[in-house]
Amino acid sequence: MQTMNKTTDSLLASAKQSLLYTANRPEVVMTRGEGMYLWDTDDKCYLDFIGGWAVTSLGHSPAALQEALTYQSGQLVHASPGFYNKPMVEFADLLTEVSGFDKVFFASSGAEANESAIKLARKHGALHLNGAYEIITLTNSFHGRSLAMMSATGKEAFKPLFEPKVPGFIHVPINDFDACFAAISDRTCAIMLELVQGEGGVHAVDGPYLQALRKACDIYNIMLIFDEVQTGLGRTGKLFAYEHYGIMPDVMTLAKGIGSGFPLSAMLTTAEFDLFEPGDQGGTYSAAPLGMAAGHAVVSEIIRLGLADNAALQGDLIKEKLTALSTEYPISQVRGKGLLLAFDVPEGSAPMLAAECFKKGLLVNAPNQSAIRLMPPLIVSADDVEQMISILAIALETVGLKNEAICS
């Protein structure tokens, strides 16, 4: 044990010395993952309800991903973005078939997929809307960390950073059609939104609002873009969140769960918006064979195992158990779809509660001072849910969050 701790200490010391300080991380080093669990260098085990940040859809180190990576790395890792490769064609076929879209462009991260969507929208503006270039996005949204996507993001904390921002993004409040309508002008080429705001604290858009957006986009020939980077591929209890609403966008972006940990993203669109010409968009790693094989294996497995249905089932179970907990503990606003869930705790206590859960071997995320977000792997079972709830109850107890204490 002593030597183990020494290893951890020296790794942490090296990390502080050589890594740029871009995130507050706890004093542990993760080494291994399997299914719902992560282990650190001291062999402490964590039940993972963060799921690699809504990424490890199949759980940690899934066999299907290991096999695909092993096989493909023995065949061809990288051919050049200038050539077709077999996994690229197979994965494009699969994704277009299951998504309802006609065309796909592949990249490596959510931000890049969204950049592609914005480029496509501006191309549409240039070709069909007299050079319209503005994109309307939502307050409290999150679209990524490239400079353009920080400009698209409607997060207060991003506002003062890295000025000047990329121009042409307008932010309006969620579920307020009048505000959006007022922002539409002859400069508008697209509206981009998340159907359930993930980083923003798990807030879903309303059906009638989305219907009104679709209608406005149709009338004014504005492109409607759904950022399904977090909500896509089974996360919300449907393969794609747009299915909850019965409303198709013109463009949908995917990342996070698409590779279950392999860095991969996609932008999908319809034949109508097949507007890119050679030179407009690309990337050294776009549709590279290793990633394509990984994505194909992951998406096939999500479908084969019916993980969207499991997400719906376990999501309902989690909501039910959280609601039951709320009689004893100050838990409110249990919300979300499938396995993208959150609840509120008294203002200021969310980070402390997440830290206490961490101590007790449960990973949950506090996206702000008052919310706890859950986004476990889609393979989560009823037993895992039971275990999560019991650790959460103990953690609530330990940090002194009790209903009685609030009432008296």
Ligand X SMILES: *Cc1c(COP(=O)(O)O)cnc(C)c1O
Residues that bind ligand X (CB under 6 A): 109-111, 114, 142-144, 194, 198-199, 227, 229-230, 255-256
Considering the complex, state which of residue 378 and residue 396 has its C-beta at the smaller distance from ligand X. Answer: 378
Cβ 119 to ligand X shortest distance, Å: 15
Considering the complex, state which of residue 158 and residue 220 has its C-beta at the smaller distance from ligand X. Answer: 158
Considering the complex, state which of residue 24 and residue 80 has its C-beta at the smaller distance from ligand X. Answer: 24
Q: Which two tokens stand for residue 85?
A: 């490769």
The stretches of 26-135 forming alpha helices (DSSP H) are 51-54, 63-75, 86-99, 110-128
Cβ 228 to ligand X shortest distance, Å: 8
Considering the complex, state which of residue 91 and residue 142 has its C-beta at the smaller distance from ligand X. Answer: 142
**Separation of alpha carbons 368 and 365, rounded Å:** 9
Cβ 149 to ligand X shortest distance, Å: 7
**Separation of alpha carbons 200 and 136, rounded Å:** 17
Cβ 114 to ligand X shortest distance, Å: 6
Considering the complex, state which of residue 72 and residue 108 has its C-beta at the smaller distance from ligand X. Answer: 108
Considering the complex, state which of residue 118 and residue 308 has its C-beta at the smaller distance from ligand X. Answer: 118
Cβ 18 to ligand X shortest distance, Å: 22
DSSP 138-183: ETT----SSHHHHHH---GGGTTTTSSPPS-EEEE-TT-HHHHHHH
Using CA atoms, how far residue 401 sits from 299, 351, 405, 406, in Å, is: 40, 13, 7, 8
Q: Which two tokens stand for residue 293?
A: 């094989």
Residue nearest to ligand X (CB): 110
Cβ 224 to ligand X shortest distance, Å: 16
Cβ 341 to ligand X shortest distance, Å: 15
Question: Cα 382 to the chain's mean position, in Å?
Answer: 23
Backbone angles phi, psi at 241, to 5 degrees: -65, -25
Give the residue from 371, 364, 324, 335 showing the smallest Cα distance to 350: 371
Count of CB atoms within 10 A of residue 168's CB? 20
Burial of 59 (0-12, 13-18, 19+ CB in 10 A): buried
Considering the complex, state which of residue 230 and residue 349 has its C-beta at the smaller distance from ligand X. Answer: 230
Please, what is the Cα angle at 72 between 68 and 76, to 5 degrees?
Answer: 165
